[in-house]
Amino acid sequence: KKPFSALQEEVLRLKKERNAVILAHNYVANEIQEVADFIGDSLGLSYCARDAKADVIVFCGVDFMAETAKILNPSKTVLMPDAASGCSLEESCPAVELAAFKAQYPNAKVVSYINCSGAVKALSDVICTSGNAVKIVEHFPKDEQIIFAPDRYLGSWVEEMTGRKMILWDGCCCAHASYKAEDLKALREEFKAPIVCHPECKKEVRDVCDYVCSTEKMIAWARENPSDTIIVATVEQMIYRLRREVPNKTFIAAPAPNSKSLRCRHMDKNTLEKLRDCLRDMSPQVSVDEVVAEKAKAAIEKMLSWSK
């Protein structure tokens, strides 16, 4: 295990002083993953946030994740290294537009992907993540009409997995949606290795891949897959986590168009310096409107209980 840098030591000292817990998404910088108490996908981190006992939760991820932590555990101070780390999926689905859309389908249930605002969660019957979307949708009777927001590619994957049609909101993750099927095909030819991708990828990209799953599930899949080399089609920092968890295999980050790997510009706003600063200054803090939080909490808690 390599020693901590001076800045990492400072973060760990401040963390202790503040009685804080550091939650980090699989997509954040390596040096943040190294000081985190928990690293995981949106689902795993939601459980960690709900159950956190420390006074302070520092969420190294994006705003909807930190907001979810605050909604689930409102008595805690929730900090984010950079309050401007948002999500293109979240931007694609303003709550007022979803409310108008919902009014067109008065009998439909709304299942929203966790990558959305608190206000959208408050309009939803239940939330899902990529790790449990299939299970959540299957929880509804077959003939129940479902609006699925905001990711149409995750939605279409869930449609394939469950064999049921849904009413899809037209949003996407601009990073994952940039992958091209022919590039991944060429990569498979070059390395003769299987490809795992995230369900936010387009259908034609998913069809080229060997397995589609949430970031956390990629670890178990990689461990069990007989190949020594695995191509990973998601945000690059996932490779660091995979290499730590499955050290005997070679992981290759699938390059995105015009770039050697896929990056999320919002996740990249999380730096070790900003993590140190937020613990030192106890800012920026996450807050959620009380009325929104109460409704959103019901939808998130329903997800946590259904996905057990």
Q: What are residue 27's phi and psi, to 5 degrees?
A: -95, 5
Smallest gap, in angstroms, from Cβ of residue 6 to ligand 13P? 30
Q: Is the CB of 42 or the CB of 307 nearer to ligand 13P? A: 42
Rg over CA atoms, the chain: 19
In DSSP terms, 59 is beta-bridged to: 23
Q: Which of 148, 200, 206, 240 binds ligand 13P (CB under 6 A)?
A: 200
Q: Where are the alpha helices (DSSP H) in 117-151?
A: 118-122, 133-138
Q: Of 13-21, 123-131, 136-144, 254-262, which segment contacts ligand 13P by CB under 6 A?
A: 123-131
Number of residues interacting with ligand 13P: please give it, by CB under 6 A: 13
Residue 46 binds ligand 13P (CB under 6 A): no
What count of Cα atoms within 13 Å lies in the side-chain half-sphere of residue 108? 23
CB closer to ligand 13P out of 43 and 232: 43
Q: Which of 23, 32, 173, 286 binds ligand 13P (CB under 6 A)?
A: 173
Say whether 59 sits in a helix, a strand or coil: strand
Residue 98 φ/ψ region, left for φ over 0, alpha for ψ in the -120 to 50 degree band, beta for the rest: alpha
Check if the beta carbon of residue 289 is closer than 8 Å to that of residue 268: no
Among 115, 132, 237, 270, binds ligand 13P (CB under 6 A): 115
* Closest approach of ligand 13P to the CB of residue 189, in Å: 27
Are 188 and 195 in contact, with CB atoms under 8 Å apart?
yes
Residues 245 and 220: their CA atoms lie apart, in Å, by: 9
Among 215, 237, 270, 307, binds ligand 13P (CB under 6 A): 215
- Of 38, 35, 28, residue with least CA distance to 10: 35
**Binds ligand 13P (CB under 6 A): choice among 42, 117, 237, 307:** 42
Among 15, 26, 60, 132, binds ligand 13P (CB under 6 A): 26
Identified binder of ligand 13P from the candidate list 10, 34, 41, 236, rule CB under 6 A: 41
> Applying CB under 6 A, which residues contact ligand 13P?
26, 41-43, 115, 129-131, 173, 198, 200, 214-215
